[in-house]
A and B are shown apart, each in its own frame.
Chain A
């Protein structure tokens, strides 16, 4: 889908980057099976952990502070609530993932299971935001607000 608002495009690009990285991890883990991780796997897992930490702080916080209230005010409170609930679930899993990622080889089975769960949760969450949140912003934001939001989102 093509978005006209700057902030929608920024969030969409971040979604694509998240999905590309976690899609790669999901495929790697599926191919690896129950075998121990390689050095490359460890690097990929750490990249994912770092990206996720950024996602759940900056990206989620911005959506919760600036976008969900606007969605709720436009009569889409149940969608805003659903997305916020998913943020909480992903945050909890991300905290656990960051802890386990400190010792990739020692905690491998649990880490692998959690990584696959996170990959699916992130995909599902991005699907919902791409279907509901971002298209709504096209209507909810005027040019001026869009510029201000894009400027404040760093």
Chain B
């Protein structure tokens, strides 16, 4: 079907970077959509509209886009298998980018007829990606811990695609289904399932690599994976309280084992990206604790929206932006050519520092806006998030410009 099989595990730079570039652009669009619909955020009841569009610009446009770009380059390193087809990898991007834009546009305009083709493009993109991912995992020869997480994430990806299509069919054709159950399953499979399991798996070798530390023991990684899968199955079965508790166990094992690994690192300085990694872990634990509290009837009003903020811009977005700010200059230096500049010389630190402050401020503001039911605060928080996304875009463009300058002076 797709020719152009990659010979080496090192992909052309344009392949992962087109996904990262799209993620950076959708990141700004997601905050912009949230800003436009901020008045509805604190008491958002669900359904189509600007908050829904912002949610999917973040999940599909930023999280999924980043995950695909990162796994296309990093998974072959872990599995010792090249990407099955560069043409297929590019096709994923060509399907996913318009798919996300059309889907979010349809959601923002309350137009199920536009939503459906966008959703179909997204599902087509994810199907091609699932084929690439499955093919790579099937022939994997290294890092069994990462491979096991990859298989689990792939299963969740299939489930989220099916539930997503069913939900779109309900909006467009009035398909009769248990909406709350499907929406809950879709949320769990997309966040704790596909994205969460990929984040858990890639953390096992990426974070120790960044910190120059030994990875956690496979036993702890498998224990966290087992507990996470158990939690996801419980959630799909409707046992939400037990699922949240099992999820807390999984998250605690994951975080403690990685913190132990980081404590034994050989390079003392971790770098500011790890502040975001640690903040994301705290938000993961908070999301699960709140989920348990909601199920046991201890949650305050608007806890559902508070939970979504902890989960999506909180845990997943914070974590992925932390990883992205380390991967982008690292990969850029790999492609810089002879006499490559230092990774630190390719990373503009000013925009990253501004992004860190604005992103964490936006999260705090959003959480406070939900607690206080204050739309003006949600607007201010979304504005801060938008400014942070622009700063992150400045960082990304800065890396590319510095890379261009370095290549211009590199010896042939």
Bound together, the chains give a CA A132 to CA B55 distance in angstroms of 37
| CB contact between B267 and one of A26, A138, A139 (< 8 Å): that residue | A26
| Interface residues in A23-79 (C-beta closer than 8 Å to B) | 23, 26-27, 30, 75-79
Bound together, the chains give a CA A30 to CA B342 distance in angstroms of 17
Bound together, the chains give a CA A89 to CA B212 distance in angstroms of 21
Beta-carbon contact of B268 and A120 below 8 Å: no
- Nearest to B338 among chain A residues (CB) is A85
Cβ of B183 within 8 Å of any chain A Cβ, yes or no, is: no
Cβ of B220 within 8 Å of any chain A Cβ, yes or no, is: no
Cβ of B269 within 8 Å of any chain A Cβ, yes or no, is: yes
Cβ of B80 within 8 Å of any chain A Cβ, yes or no, is: yes
- Nearest to A125 among chain B residues (CB) is B340
Note all chain A residues with C-beta closer than 8 A to B339.
85, 88-89
Note all chain B residues with C-beta closer than 8 A to A136.
80
- Nearest to B410 among chain A residues (CB) is A85
Note all chain B residues with C-beta closer than 8 A to A102.
none
Cβ of A86 within 8 Å of any chain B Cβ, yes or no, is: yes
- Nearest to B76 among chain A residues (CB) is A132
Beta-carbon contact of A1 and B215 below 8 Å: yes
Note all chain A residues with C-beta closer than 8 A to B215.
1
Bound together, the chains give a CA A136 to CA B333 distance in angstroms of 21
Bound together, the chains give a CA A93 to CA B337 distance in angstroms of 17
Interface string of B197-208 (1 = CB under 8 A from A): 000000001000
| CB contact between B268 and one of A23, A79, A138 (< 8 Å): that residue | A23
| Interface residues on chain B, number (Cβ under 8 Å) | 28
Bound together, the chains give a CA A124 to CA B9 distance in angstroms of 18
CB of A139, distance to nearest CB on chain B (Å):
6
Bound together, the chains give a CA A129 to CA B232 distance in angstroms of 36
| Interface residues on chain A, number (Cβ under 8 Å) | 33
Beta-carbon contact of A78 and B10 below 8 Å: yes
| CB contact between B141 and one of A26, A78, A139 (< 8 Å): that residue | A139
CB of B398, distance to nearest CB on chain A (Å):
18
Beta-carbon contact of B269 and A27 below 8 Å: yes
Beta-carbon contact of B340 and A85 below 8 Å: yes
Note all chain B residues with C-beta closer than 8 A to A85.
337-340
Note all chain A residues with C-beta closer than 8 A to B184.
none
Beta-carbon contact of B143 and A139 below 8 Å: no
Note all chain A residues with C-beta closer than 8 A to B212.
19, 23, 123, 126-127
Beta-carbon contact of B8 and A117 below 8 Å: no
| CB contact between A75 and one of B7, B142, B267 (< 8 Å): that residue | B7
Bound together, the chains give a CA A86 to CA B338 distance in angstroms of 7
Cβ of A110 within 8 Å of any chain B Cβ, yes or no, is: no
Bound together, the chains give a CA A19 to CA B342 distance in angstroms of 17
| Interface residues in B132-152 (C-beta closer than 8 Å to A) | 141-143
Beta-carbon contact of B141 and A16 below 8 Å: no
| Interface residues in A113-154 (C-beta closer than 8 Å to B) | 117, 120-121, 123-124, 126-128, 130-132, 135-136, 138-139
Note all chain A residues with C-beta closer than 8 A to B77.
131-132, 135
| CB contact between A82 and one of B10, B205, B266, B344 (< 8 Å): that residue | B10
Known: A30-B269, A135-B80, A135-B142. A127 touches B8 (CB 8 A): no
Note all chain B residues with C-beta closer than 8 A to A121.
342
CB of B76, distance to nearest CB on chain A (Å):
10
Bound together, the chains give a CA A121 to CA B142 distance in angstroms of 26
- Nearest to A30 among chain B residues (CB) is B269
Beta-carbon contact of A76 and B9 below 8 Å: yes
Note all chain B residues with C-beta closer than 8 A to A120.
342-344
Beta-carbon contact of B205 and A117 below 8 Å: no
Note all chain B residues with C-beta closer than 8 A to A89.
338-340
Beta-carbon contact of B9 and A79 below 8 Å: yes
Beta-carbon contact of B267 and A88 below 8 Å: no
Bound together, the chains give a CA A19 to CA B209 distance in angstroms of 12
CB of B205, distance to nearest CB on chain A (Å):
7
Known: A120-B344, A124-B342. A138 touches B266 (CB 8 A): no
- Nearest to A132 among chain B residues (CB) is B77
Note all chain B residues with C-beta closer than 8 A to A26.
267-269
B: residues with CB less than 8 A from A are 7-10, 77, 80, 82, 141-143, 205, 209, 212, 215, 266-269, 330, 333-334, 337-340, 342-344
Q: Could you write out 29 A-B pairs with CB less than 8 Å apart?
A: A1-B215, A19-B212, A23-B212, A23-B266, A23-B268, A26-B268, A27-B268, A30-B269, A75-B82, A76-B8, A76-B10, A78-B10, A79-B10, A85-B337, A86-B340, A88-B338, A89-B340, A123-B267, A126-B212, A127-B212, A128-B334, A132-B9, A132-B77, A135-B80, A135-B142, A135-B143, A136-B80, A138-B141, A139-B80
The 6 closest A-B pairs by CB, nearest first: A19-B266, A27-B268, A75-B7, A23-B267, A85-B338, A23-B266
16 extra A-B contacts, CB within 8 A, seeds A19-B212, A23-B268, A132-B9: A1-B205, A19-B267, A26-B268, A75-B8, A78-B10, A82-B334, A85-B337, A88-B339, A120-B344, A123-B212, A124-B333, A124-B343, A128-B334, A132-B77, A135-B77, A136-B80
A: residues with CB less than 8 A from B are 1, 16, 19-20, 23, 26-27, 30, 75-79, 82, 85-86, 88-89, 117, 120-121, 123-124, 126-128, 130-132, 135-136, 138-139
